[in-house]
Every structure is written in C-alpha cells, then in structure tokens.
Copies of this chain bind each other. A is one copy, B any other.
Amino acid sequence: MSDTFPENSVGLVTPEVVHFDDPLELACGRTLHNYQLMVETYGELNSEKSNAILICHALSGNHHAAGYHSVDDKKPGWWENHIGPGKPFDTNQFFIVCPNNLGGCHGSTGPSSINPDTGKPWGVDFPPLRARDWVQSQAKLADRLGIQQWAAVAGGSLGGMQAMRWALEYPDRIRHAIVIASAMKLSAQNIAFNEIARNAIKSDPDFRDGHFLESNTLPRNGLALARMIGHVTYLSDELMGNKFGRELRSGSFQQGQDTPIEFQVESYLRHQGDAFSSNFDANTYLLMTKALDYFDLAREYGNDPVKAFGHALCDFLVVSFSTDWRFAPERSQETVKALIDANKNVSYAAIDSNLGHDAFLLPNERYEHILTAYMSRVASTADHSEQRAASMEGSL
C-alpha cells in the first residue's frame, strides 16, 4: 500500500453501510421508518471514545472524505488535504467519521432509494430535509458507534451549518465546532442562485416531475446547468481570470454563429457540468439546495443569533476566505460577533486566498497551519475529556 498511495494518506478505505430501524422524526413532520447511512471512518477510536471527529459534507460532497477506494482510484476523497496521518485531522490521533448525508445519492437513503411503500424510487417524494435532520441522524450514528461526545464536528459551507446546528441541538455532545466558509443563513443572492439551479433541473423535460428514475431518464442537461451555475459562483473572478483569462480554445476566433465552445472557460464549465450530471442525483441536488436555503440558525431563537449560540457549550473555530463571495468573510464575521456576544470561546481566521468559496477544499498553507494548530488544542481537550466532562456537569 505504501508504494501505491502517498505516505500521508489514509490509503485504501472501504465505506460501510449502517442501517437504522428506529424511526427518524423529520423537521417536516414526516417520519423515516428506517434508513441507512453510508459511512467512512479513518483512524482508531480510543478506549475513552473521546477522540472522534465528525466531518459534515457540503452540497455536492459525500462520505468519501479521504483515501482511495481502490488502487486504480485516480482521485482521493474530497478533504484529502486535511485528513490523514500528520495532517490537520490527524488519523494518528483522531477517529474521523464521515457519513453521506441522508437524502444524498452515494449510498445513504435518499431520493434514488426505493420507497418501501411503493416499491419504486422515492424521487421527488422523498421527504424534504433540514440541517437538523442530518444532525439528528448523525447523533444516531454516534450512538451506534458508542460516541457520546464528538471531540469536534467540522465542515465547510453546508457542512459548517451542520457543525453550528450540532452545537445548538446537542450542546453536551460536541466539544468543538469548526465552521469553515459558512454562514448563519444564506443571503437573498445565494437563494437566488440556488433557485435558478433548481429551475434549470426542473425545466429539463427529462426531469419528468422528479420521477425520472422510473422513466429511465436522467435530467442531465438541467443538472449540468445547475452545476455550472454553482461552479462559477464557487470560484472567484480572479481565479477564473488566472486560470482561463480569455484564452481561446482554437487559438483564434471562429466566426460561425454556431461555434458553441470558443473560450477555454466555456469548455471547462461544460466538462464540469457534464461530469457532475453523470454521478449526482438531481433530486438530491434539489433537496440539498433547499436545505441550504432553509438554514437559518437563529430563526427559532427570535432571530437572535446571540440567544441561539447561548445554548452552545462548545468552543468554535470560524474560518473564512477573502475571495469567497457566496459565503463572504462578512458572514463569518457575523457568526464570530454573535459567538463573542454570547460569551463563547471562538477563534477566527480570515484567510487570504484567490480561490473563492472552493478554497475550503483546496491546499493553502495558512489554512492548514490554522487547522493544525486548532486541532492540537482539540487533541489536548480530547486527552482531558473526562476532567472536562466532570467540570461541565458541575457547571450545569
């Protein structure tokens, strides 16, 4: 294995299916009577079960956060930069757990699963989910793994929203929340981009009102468009300029009306859209973007984020990236301000990066340095979890 994969990779990993037969009451009022989560874990759970880290994925992510599924695997998991021996989420120290979210399309129960009541794929009839539903299902997963308290819950974007929700829903089950490139709620502009993406999917005749699997069709065009919209907005103008400029694919202008792909950026986007539409479920995309839009941390706390965070007991690390314009540094700063006003321990890092929102997935020395430093602190509290648990009991 050491010949095949980089030394600081977790190497070959195999996801596991975890079944749940106890009903899950969802925020929408409906109940999932049974469900499964596809899960990857890296590292070893210590005997005190105090070194577990939950990684929450974002819109297009899944359970495969690190390592390789086979020796031929061309790409490692999506957070390979951060997860592995000697990396910020150090698998020599931590037991890392990453499930595919419920409603996902990579093995967890979701719109492409069979609805037991009909014997057909759920499709668009799958219950709408909220971040709190994910958090609840992740808590059940923690129970199953015997983890009473996460050393940390970490995620970027929609993953950061789940980390924040964890801090409010299960305050005594999380010691650190790591909230990267996220926000307490989306802006109208963000909702607008999501709405356009959903429209693109629903306008595709192959969407068949959300029952495309039964019709043996796939709304590839719509999903590709949705991904292209997302992709452009997750990159910065600067990055796109550096990466593509106005480079022409052919080297010179073509003058026909129907010369669809001339600029390199067009070619790149089409490739991204097409690749995505081949391995992602359109109903999952709708579900995930709706969960993003719905997320509003403080809504049931009188729209007062200070009051909301008042319920948290954990410490927080908040990270933002300078050219991220969908989850702008200002949004992270609002989160930090609310946490400070709620008297929480919060560390904040504003990272210079020209990579836009996608920066949370990509290599950046300062980002890694900050995560490593923070995780050392998490490790030290993991070591002292028993004392801390005792002191927490005292303070409750």
Contact check, B246 vs A296: say whether CB atoms are below 8 A apart: yes
Neighbouring B residues of A235 by C-beta, 8 Å: 189
A185 CA to B248 CA in the complex, in Å? Answer: 14
Q: How large is the interface on A (under 10, 10 to 19, 20 to 34, 35 or more residues)?
A: 35 or more
Interface assignment of A260: CB less than 8 Å from any CB of chain B? yes
Q: Using A205-B205, A265-B195 as known contacts, say yes or no to A188 and B253 having CB atoms under 8 A apart.
A: no
Contact check, B225 vs A192: say whether CB atoms are below 8 A apart: no
Contact check, B188 vs A203: say whether CB atoms are below 8 A apart: no
Contact check, A228 vs B199: say whether CB atoms are below 8 A apart: yes
Interface assignment of A301: CB less than 8 Å from any CB of chain B? no
Contact check, A294 vs B188: say whether CB atoms are below 8 A apart: no
Q: Using A125-B257, A126-B257, A257-B125 as known contacts, say yes or no to A186 and B225 having CB atoms under 8 A apart.
A: no
Contact check, B263 vs A191: say whether CB atoms are below 8 A apart: yes
Cβ < 8 Å to B, chain A residues 35-53: none
Between A198, A229, A241, A260, the greatest number of chain B beta carbons within 10 A of the residue's beta carbon is seen for A229
Interface assignment of A258: CB less than 8 Å from any CB of chain B? yes
Contact check, B232 vs A192: say whether CB atoms are below 8 A apart: yes
Contact check, B255 vs A28: say whether CB atoms are below 8 A apart: yes
Given B191, B257, B266, B270, which contacts A287 in the complex, CB threshold below 8 Å?
B257
Contact check, B269 vs A195: say whether CB atoms are below 8 A apart: yes
Interface assignment of A343: CB less than 8 Å from any CB of chain B? no
Dominant secondary structure at the A interface: helix
A302 CA to B252 CA in the complex, in Å? Answer: 14
Cβ < 8 Å to B, chain A residues 273-325: 273, 286-287, 290, 293-294, 296, 325
Given B128, B260, B270, which contacts A257 in the complex, CB threshold below 8 Å?
B128
Interface assignment of A222: CB less than 8 Å from any CB of chain B? yes
Given B124, B188, B228, which contacts A246 in the complex, CB threshold below 8 Å?
B188
Contact check, B210 vs A196: say whether CB atoms are below 8 A apart: no
Q: Using A257-B127, A257-B128, A269-B196 as known contacts, say yes or no to A203 and B189 having CB atoms under 8 A apart.
A: no
Q: How many copies, total?
A: 2
Instruction: State the Cβ distance, A224 to closest chain B Cβ, in Å.
Output: 8
Contact check, A128 vs B203: say whether CB atoms are below 8 A apart: no
Instruction: State the Cβ distance, A112 to closest chain B Cβ, in Å.
Output: 14
Contact check, A246 vs B191: say whether CB atoms are below 8 A apart: yes
Q: Using A246-B296, A263-B191 as known contacts, say yes or no to A258 and B124 having CB atoms under 8 A apart.
A: yes
Contact check, A256 vs B128: say whether CB atoms are below 8 A apart: yes
Cβ < 8 Å to B, chain A residues 234-255: 235, 237, 240-241, 243-246, 253, 255
A27 CA to B293 CA in the complex, in Å? Answer: 46
Contact check, B246 vs A225: say whether CB atoms are below 8 A apart: no
Contact check, B192 vs A255: say whether CB atoms are below 8 A apart: no
Neighbouring B residues of A287 by C-beta, 8 Å: 257
Cβ < 8 Å to B, chain A residues 87-120: none
A265 CA to B190 CA in the complex, in Å? Answer: 10
A126 CA to B257 CA in the complex, in Å? Answer: 7
Which residues does A use to contact B, with CB under 8 Å?
27-29, 124-128, 185-189, 191-193, 195-196, 198-200, 202-205, 210, 221-222, 224-225, 228-229, 232, 235, 237, 240-241, 243-246, 253, 255-258, 260, 262-263, 265-266, 269-270, 273, 286-287, 290, 293-294, 296, 325, 328
Contacts A196-B225, A199-B225, A199-B228 aside, 9 further interface pairs with beta carbons under 8 A come to: A29-B255, A124-B258, A128-B255, A188-B243, A188-B246, A195-B265, A196-B232, A196-B269, A257-B286
